[in-house]
Amino acid sequence: MGLLHSYTADVVWTGAGESGTTSYTAYSRDHEVRIGSKPPLLGSADPAFRGDPGRFSPEELLVAALAQCHMLWFLHLASADGVVVVGYTDRATGTMRVEGAGHGQFREVVLRPCVTLAGPLRDDGRTVTDGELAGLHARAHEHCFIARSVNFPVRLDAAPSRVAQGAVG
């Protein structure tokens, strides 16, 4: 059996106002997510559900967690394979369907990572191919704890890699 890791997050509702939940429209969806001594993350519902658009929604955080997990595994695997990455961005999107009774679920999340390499060569002098980068993305996807834990598809639509300006190879 593998190692067990435990994570704790405190969620504190800050939106009771004067009247609490006397009606669906009477209260704010504002809350704080507190994790250890880190600054609180200001959360709310999605604006479609009466939330504050200036705060993070659980749905946004789920999409972000999937993108973060993939990136961290990709960077780890790239470094282990001698691929020097100097930039990484992802514009991940998630699609959620809400049914008539208010039940909802994510249909899919699409990760769109874009990797910038220090140069066209690995640290051992071999050329980095797009196929090898696709393989690193596939391995990262297989390892991502969060993607392995959700019950909807997490798709990859990786952009072609870029080489940093001024790189020689």
Q: What is the pLDDT of residue 167?
A: 56
Contact 152, 106 (CB under 8 A): yes
Q: What is the pLDDT of residue 5?
A: 85
The answer for 100, left when phi > 0, alpha when psi is -120 to 50, beta otherwise, is alpha
- pLDDT range class, residue 168, cuts 50, 70, 90: low
pLDDT band at 144 (very low <50, low <70, confident <90, very high): very high
Task: Give the pLDDT confidence score for residue 121 in this predicted structure.
Answer: 85
Q: What is the model's pTM?
A: 0.89
pLDDT tops 80 at residue 106 = yes
Q: How many CB atoms lie within 10 A of CB 36?
A: 7
Q: What is the pLDDT of residues 38-59, one digit of tens each?
A: 999 999 999 989 999 999 999 9
pLDDT digits (tens, 9 = 90+) for 113-134: 999 999 888 878 889 999 999 9
Specify whether the CB–CB gap between 137 and 57 falls below 8 A.
no
Which residue do the tokens 């009606």 mark? Answer: 23
Percentage of the chain modeled with pLDDT above 90: 66
